[in-house]
Each structure stands twice: as structure tokens, then as C-alpha cells.
Amino acid sequence: MPANIPLLQENLSKLPDGVGRPTYDRTPLKTGIVHVGVGGFHRAHEAYYTHLLLEAGKAKDWAICGVGLREGDRQMGEVLKQQDFLYSMIVRHPDGKIETTVIGSIVEFLLGPDNPGAVINRMAAPETRIVSLTITEGGYNVNPATGAFDFDNTDISHDLEHPDAPVTVFGYLAAALRKRRDEGREAFTVQSCDNVQHNGDVTRRALLAFTERLDPGLAEWIGANVRFPNAMVDRITPRTTPADTNYLQQEFGLKDEWPVTCEPFMQWVIEDDFSDGRPAWEAVGAQFVPDVTPYEKMKLRLLNAGHSVLGLLGAIHGHETIDGCIADPLFAGYLRDFLDKEATPVLDTVEGIDLQAYKDSLIERFGNPNVKDGLARICAESSAKLPKFLIETIRENLVAGGSIDYSALIIATWCYYSDTHADRFGKPLEVIDEQKEELQKAAKETTEDPLAFLRQEELFGDLVKDERFGSKYAELVERLYADPDVGVLMREVRKGS
């Protein structure tokens, strides 16, 4: 395809038939949602649900203003701006079918570091009724073991001292909500879209802890007026690669600087608890339920934990993607056993949810050979993920006398990975983690003290004191350090169970 069509509103009509595009008029849309953290996931999930609703003519007041709070968000803002805030979503099916759609629900983007006041004003504007968040598991600034808000964070101290020029999401939310209160407006809903159990409650507690220090009167107003719906969010969204941009170029002559690619599956289960109205997302597949607990627990402890299982073991073994792991019977078998023998027994059974079928579908989704989900993305920020995805499962199995061997090997592998930053052949691995240095320091002591990694209280609480877990972990980590061929240990764990 020789043409080279830059992605722009005025070029939409020039795109070949194979590309879906907004058929709604974007000009009169009102911005009802301000979203903090515009990455792949937001663009493949909330922004897509909202796009579908705009297509159905049901969301004219709910277009999205993207917000970045970090310097690292600048590039996304620039690309979106340059493309009239349009981007392509490439959905890759397991049978090779690919669907491409240009999404039009984002209509604006603001970067906090450039102009904090503009972000505060946008959030405080009368038409804004929801501020939604994908700020990652680690973004809630709470101690993973105790759940307490971390006031030692220097950015939080900054925001307490400079409430009109904040840098953290809590500073922004507090400033915008204060403005709304002072100007006599309704509060907006704060809607978390992160993989955190009871993500709404966690956001609420964090924001209240912060504002109580800042301004107790405001905290009281927030407590009484702001709603924080809990939600389970799901769609596997790998990092965009040059293969994605090249695909659009070659197939359609379309030049999009930053498309998003994802699997066909998507799910969004939300508690219907909004301060000032919401889009009718149920019309395009979202589920509104009174209590999201069973859904989120199931998803975090099966899907997300399952990802970490494959990510950590697979990285050390030398695999590169999730589908590559599933194609290896040892890994597919280990994952299924972990899900059946350790994750499932401590999940509540829920009427209407068939856990066996859910697990079957997970393995199918992970195995999608066209979604090349890199293990580096999965392993990134494990220190924020594992306390939420895996460590609770271990703790509950210890109480119930259940199996813990599969999990012990995963933690041992995490230790090895944090120490060596290399796979079993010595090939360097990309390690991205806010706690990278602390993790490595603790892991390095393993040869002297096999339990050193487990002694990190912030991550593991008092797990190290459990004799059964400690001795299994110590045995596995020592063997892994002696011979990092993790496959041997995986086979043994499976045999022993």
C-alpha cells in the first residue's frame, strides 16, 4: 500500500474500508471524563467502551480528556495532539484475524508538569463528572503489607506544601475537589481502573489520608460527597511494538505514531456507585453489579497471578512471551496446576461463575499466538503486583493447610531474577521495578542467608516466620542458585503435588 496517510480527523474518510473509524461527530462532544494515565490499557479499555457508546449515540457528554502527571507521559500527549487525539486499536484474534479501528473518544490531553493549574481546572470544570485512573498497582502510595498511606514519599510532602502545584494524583484530586466544593459544584466520581483489589476503597482511603493532613474540612467533604466505585477491569494489552506501526502502514497506508494492540476479550465489572451520573457503559458490554469482590478476586488471583507465574519462571527459563510459555507443555501444565491447586482452593465460589471455564478461557487467551505479550511487561513492577496477585493466596493456603510449593518456587525465582537480572544462560533481562535496588540488595544476601529475600517485610509481612513456607522456600531458592535450570524444579514441584 503506497499511500502514507497521517492519522488525522480530516484524513479519516481517506482510509481504506478495512479500518473502522468514528462515524460520530467529535466536534460537539463534551468532556465528562478526565483520565489520568493514558497508556495502552486505558486506550484499549475505558476509551474503547466509551467509543462504542459514542457510536451508539449515547455518550455525547462523556468524551475523555487524557492527563499525564509525569514527564514520561509527554510523548503520549504529543503523539495524540499531533493526531487530533485519534489512535488505532489493533485487535488480534487467535485465528489470525485482525481488526483495526480508529478510536475517537479522547478529545483532549493535558500534561501536569507543563501546567498544573490547567489540569486542576479541567478536573474542576462543571462538565467533568468522572476522574478515572490507571496509575498502576504501585501508584496508590500505600504500604503493601499494612495498607497505610506512605507519608515518607517526598512527592507527597511536596504536595502537602504546594497544594496548588501538585505532582501526585492525590494532590491533583484534592486541589480539584477543593475548587469544586468552594465553587458550589457537585463532586466528581473517582474511578480506579487498576488491578488492585477493592480499587475504589483503596483510592478512597488513600485520598482521605492525604486530605486529612492537608485540610480536614476538605477530607470531610470528600468523605461525604465523592463516590469511589470498585471495579474489575480486564483486557490483555501488550506493549506497542514497531510491528504494530508497520502493520498499519503496510496494510492500510496509515501512519499512526502510537497505536494500541490487544486481545479480543474484554471485561469491565463495576459497582454502580457514582457521584454525579455515568455513561451507560452497560449498553456496550460492561456489567454493573452491587458487589465486585468475587470478580476482582478471581481475576487478580487467576489471571494476573497466572501472568506473574509465567512471567517470572518463563523469563529465567529463556521464554520471551506469554504465548511462548503456553506453547511449552511444562509451563502450561505448571500454570494449570498452580491455578487448580493453590489459587482456586482459597477463592470463594460464586454463583453464576464457573471457575473451571474461566481458567480454560484464561489459558486460551494466554495462548493467543498473535498477541505477543512480552514477559518484560509482565515482570515489570513485580514488587507492586505480587503482594496483590499472589502473596494473599500463599497466606490463605498456609492458614488452610493447603499447597504452597508452586508459589514458593515462584518467589524463589523472583529472588533469583532480582539478584542476577539474567536468565539461566546468563543472558541479561530487562528489570523495571521501583524497588529494583532494594530487591537486588535483599536477593544478594541469599547465599549467606537463604531467607534474606523473604525478610522484606514491606512485601511479605511476616511470611518468613511461617516454618512450612520458609523451609520450602529456602530449599528451592538454594537449589535454584546452585542450578538455575528452573524447569527441573518445576517438574519436581509438579511431581510432588
In total, the chain counts a number of residues equal to: 497
Size of the residue set binding ligand CS2 (CB under 6 A): 8
Contact pattern for ligand CS2 over residues 138 through 177, marking x by CB under 6 A: ----------------------------------------
How many other C-beta atoms can be found within 10 angstroms of the C-beta atom of residue 57? 9
Task: Using CA atoms of 38, 40, 42, 45 in order, give the dihedral in degrees to the nearest 10.
Answer: 160
The distance of closest approach from Cβ of residue 409 to ligand CS2 in the complex, given in angstroms and rounded to an integer, is 18
The distance of closest approach from Cβ of residue 479 to ligand CS2 in the complex, given in angstroms and rounded to an integer, is 26
Pick 227 or 307: Cβ nearer ligand CS2: 307
Of 481, 319, 494, which is closest to residue 415 (Cα–Cα)? 481
Of 153, 159, 154, which is closest to residue 173 (Cα–Cα)? 159
The distance of closest approach from Cβ of residue 353 to ligand CS2 in the complex, given in angstroms and rounded to an integer, is 17
The distance of closest approach from Cβ of residue 193 to ligand CS2 in the complex, given in angstroms and rounded to an integer, is 10
Pick 248 or 378: Cβ nearer ligand CS2: 378
The distance of closest approach from Cβ of residue 277 to ligand CS2 in the complex, given in angstroms and rounded to an integer, is 26
Q: Is 251 exposed, middle or buried (0-12, 13-18, 19+ CB in 10 A)?
A: middle
Pick 237 or 275: Cβ nearer ligand CS2: 237
The three cell numbers locating residue 2: 503506497
Pick 235 or 395: Cβ nearer ligand CS2: 235
Pick 249 or 267: Cβ nearer ligand CS2: 267
Binds ligand CS2 by CB under 6 A, chosen from 7, 91, 196, 378: 378
Pick 76 or 390: Cβ nearer ligand CS2: 390
Binds ligand CS2 by CB under 6 A, chosen from 192, 304, 368, 435: 304
Binding to ligand CS2 by residue 134, rule CB under 6 A?
no
Pick 159 or 433: Cβ nearer ligand CS2: 433
Task: Specify whether the CB–CB gap between 27 and 54 falls below 8 A.
Answer: no
Binding to ligand CS2 by residue 385, rule CB under 6 A?
yes
Pick 12 or 379: Cβ nearer ligand CS2: 379
Pick 204 or 235: Cβ nearer ligand CS2: 235
- CA–CA separation, 231 vs 386, rounded Å? 19
The distance of closest approach from Cβ of residue 126 to ligand CS2 in the complex, given in angstroms and rounded to an integer, is 33
Pick 174 or 343: Cβ nearer ligand CS2: 343
The distance of closest approach from Cβ of residue 164 to ligand CS2 in the complex, given in angstroms and rounded to an integer, is 34
Pick 227 or 299: Cβ nearer ligand CS2: 299
Binding to ligand CS2 by residue 323, rule CB under 6 A?
no
Binding to ligand CS2 by residue 476, rule CB under 6 A?
no
Contact pattern for ligand CS2 over residues 181 through 220, marking x by CB under 6 A: --------------x-------------------------
Binding to ligand CS2 by residue 307, rule CB under 6 A?
yes
Contact pattern for ligand CS2 over residues 221 through 260, marking x by CB under 6 A: -------------xxx------------------------
The distance of closest approach from Cβ of residue 265 to ligand CS2 in the complex, given in angstroms and rounded to an integer, is 9
The distance of closest approach from Cβ of residue 385 to ligand CS2 in the complex, given in angstroms and rounded to an integer, is 6
**List of residues contacting ligand CS2 (CB under 6 A):** 195, 234-236, 304, 307, 378, 385
